[in-house]
């Protein structure tokens, strides 16, 4: 919401908290066929994109999210050549994926073409790989796309989705994970953003449970800071079709946050998350 003092505030009523950013001007606003899209200039966080009144990205901190959604999974896979990005209309994940020379094809599938238009206009740094010969962009339903894909088509599937409400709720379903499992190659890996570990730990565990139910051999969660998302602490969960590899590849790419130490440290599970996992395991055993 906006107030008369030029501040945007995103309120998290279930958690009794909020985040505010000071604005200088509105750059764009429209109602797309799918959602309300707004872009503002802020005083300290660069440009701000909102979807349905929720912060999607800022120019100041988006690099953390985009790097952690891509480089850990790409460096964990032994030879990622074909990558599917479901969602990710701002194209930041696509840019990071294509920093890896071994990737031969990266296909981004997002429902709302206007998000990509807005990113190209107001966040051009995120879209600098859109014309890479290895990149394909489609604007259609990502759930239907993966359901219709040939089995074993992709080495990695990245689900860069919004919160699990409305149309996006399908991206957190058992049926969707089943389609992703089928669409992955034998040693394929799925990674999906999984919200705040502080606010949404139950969602993380439900995602991992559904991933296991459809056949993924192992799951793990990455934890990282994201100051403009709820709680300032975010996560992405990985699921491994053939089991989690013992190590990971080191690569020489330009990043602002991700490195070898971050790759290892991000997988350390907080103790309160471990307690929930043990409690669930005991309950199932009973």
Cβ neighbours for 78, distance < 8 A, ≥ 6 positions apart: 187, 245, 249
How far is it, in rounded angstroms, from Cα 87 to Cα 106?
13
Q: Which of 61, 155, 160, 261 is catalytic?
A: 160
How far is it, in rounded angstroms, from Cα 69 to Cα 213?
23
Alpha helices in the chain (DSSP H): 62-68, 71-76, 92-97, 113-122, 142-147, 174-183, 201-213, 260-265, 271-285
Q: How is residue 15 written in tokens?
A: 């958690």
Terminal Cα distance for the chain, rounded: 47
Alpha helices in 105-162 (DSSP H): 113-122, 142-147
**How big is the CA angle at 211 (ends 223 and 265), to the nearest 5 degrees?**
20
Which H or E run includes 221? strand 218-225
213 is catalytic: no
The catalytic residues are 160
């Amino acid at each position: 919401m906006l107030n008369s003092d030029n501040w945007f505030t995103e309120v998290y009523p279930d958690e009794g908290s909020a985040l505010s950013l000071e604005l200088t001007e509105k750059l764009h606003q429209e109602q797309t066929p799918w959602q309300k899209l707004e872009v503002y200039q802020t005083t300290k966080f660069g440009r701000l994109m909102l979807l349905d009144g929720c912060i999607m990205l800022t120019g100041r901190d988006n690099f953390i999210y985009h790097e952690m959604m891509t480089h850990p999974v790409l460096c964990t896979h032994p030879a990622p050549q074909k990558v599917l990005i479901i969602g990710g209309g701002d194209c930041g994940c696509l840019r990071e994926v294509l920093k890896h020379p071994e990737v031969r094809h990266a296909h981004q599938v997002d429902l709302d073409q206007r998000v990509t238009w807005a990113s190209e206009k107001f966040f051009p740094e995120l879209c600098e790989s859109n014309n890479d010969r290895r990149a394909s962009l489609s604007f259609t339903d990502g759930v239907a796309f993966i359901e219709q894909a040939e089995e074993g088509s992709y080495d990695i599937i990245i689900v860069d989705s919004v919160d699990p409400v409305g149309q996006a709720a399908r991206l957190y379903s058992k049926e969707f994970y089943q389609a992703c499992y089928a669409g992955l190659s034998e040693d394929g890996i799925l990674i999906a953003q999984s919200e705040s570990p502080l606010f949404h730990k139950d969602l993380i565990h439900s995602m991992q449970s559904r991933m296991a139910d459809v056949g993924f051999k192992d799951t793990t969660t990455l934890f990282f800071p994201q100051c403009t998302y709820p709680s300032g602490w975010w996560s992405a969960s990985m699921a491994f079709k053939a089991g989690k590899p013992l190590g990971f590849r080191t690569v020489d790419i330009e990043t602002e946050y991700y490195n070898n130490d971050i790759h290892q440290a991000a997988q350390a599970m907080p103790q309160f998350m471990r307690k929930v996992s043990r409690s669930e395991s005991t309950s199932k055993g009973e």
